[in-house]
Amino acid sequence: MSRPALNPDSWLRRPAHLSWLADEGLRLLPFARGAKVAQGFAALDAQGRLPDGAIAELIHTTRMNHCFALAHIQGIAGHGGLVDHGLAALRGALWDEEHGGWFADATRSGGKSAYLHAFVALAASSARVAGRPDAQALLDDAIGIIERHFWSEEEGALRESFNRDWSDEEAYRGANSNMHGVEAFLALADVTGNALWLQRALRIAERLIHRHAAACGHVVIEHFDAHWQAQPEYNAERRADPFRPYGSTPGHAFEWARLLLHLEAALTQAGLAAPDWLLVDAKGLFASACRHAWQADGAPGLVYSLDWNQQPVVRARLHWVHAEAVAAAAALLQRSGEAIYEQWYRQFWDFTAAHFIDLHGGSWHHELDENNRPAARIWAGKPDLYHAYQALLLPPLALAPSLATALAADVTRR
């Protein structure tokens, strides 16, 4: 797999830019540490405070645990104990000791979803790389649950969700949960040394991207029934759903593009065949998302969702979409050396710095309205460190191994 040299003028070669990325990452961490509650980590409001009655949620506990593990791996003091706190929550208050698996929050109610369990696997793998004492036990549990309940060898993908006791499976298949499955599987391959996880990730990507998205102009199809028949009108009455929105979600096209390149690099590094379509489809996804989502309504920024005629549905600009656009542009720039990705990388960062980065209130605004003013229609507060922190860490790193392992080895392209 060829790796063209970066242009000497690339921001990815500029010490000042790399210092800016590192400094912004350091700036985000103190704000995020406020999410600690007795039973894990909870959502923060826009000022970085815990709302009255805040409870630990699995999504925030896993993502914070992952990010704090990355900080600890980097040698940023004060985060090892936070990783241990998250591990204790995932082995305690959020763990279902009766049926196995993890609850969505500390109320210990509801079902079990592949989306959230993928983040448990990611958090456990990062904590394992960070050398935390309870990480291996959590990793073993996470792998066991994925193997027993979520991975479908017949489908080559993840099942979506079940009741608490695993007795009733949802008749739905989702691209979002499987995308995060790919992310988790890349990390699992590194920490276990088992290339089976790469092969599974490839099967997921082949089904969802090479089979479905590529046939639709590299537009990601998000929703399917249990037999993998596309459901284009899914959630037509809940168009702004934060996890299962109607239509296509350009942010996921960017995220998939990056993950395909990580998968290609990981397969090559493992001595396995990496299909040519991984790069072709990564480029196609990126180009489609830029073409249809950037300034789709005439104003700068990437809209949240599009209909099947590529018209804006939800015009809000979300921070995670722009974080993934940055990371995808950096990955494609590294993989191809093509100037168009340098241009997009700079443009996305300039927009993010101007509109999302909150130097006064802390962290990043999570949502902007159609006029690029802070809003909270879809996401209230500033609970998510994961997307922004990864966007700051990924650009200087090689495409493989996965993030925590790369940080531990200081695997850079320089």
**Nearest-angstrom CA–CA distance, 160 and 332:** 30
Contact 239, 232 (CB under 8 A): no
Which entry of 66, 252, 355, 366 is annotated as an active-site residue? 252
> Phi, psi (5° rounding) for residue 222?
-90, -35
- What is the Cα gyration radius of the chain? 20
Judge whether 99 counts as a catalytic residue: no
Dmax over CA atoms of the chain, in Å, equals 57
Q: How many CA atoms lie within 13 Å of 88's alpha carbon, on the beta-carbon side?
A: 12
Under 8 Å between Cβ of 67 and 402: no
User: Comparing C-alpha atoms, which of 66, 194, 63 is closest to residue 126?
Assistant: 66
Tell me the Ramachandran region of residue 159: left when phi exceeds 0, alpha when psi lies from -120 to 50, beta otherwise.
Answer: beta
Contact between residue 119 and residue 188 where contact means Cβ atoms under 8 Å apart: no
252 is catalytic: yes
In whole angstroms, give the CA distance from residue 375 to residue 368.
5
Residues ≥6 apart with Cβ < 8 Å to 134: 84, 87, 88, 91, 127
Integer Cα distance of 378 and 242 in angstroms? 6
Judge contact between 60 and 383, C-beta under 8 A.
yes
Q: Is residue 278 within 8 Å of 258, Cβ to Cβ?
A: no
The set of catalytic residues is 252, 387
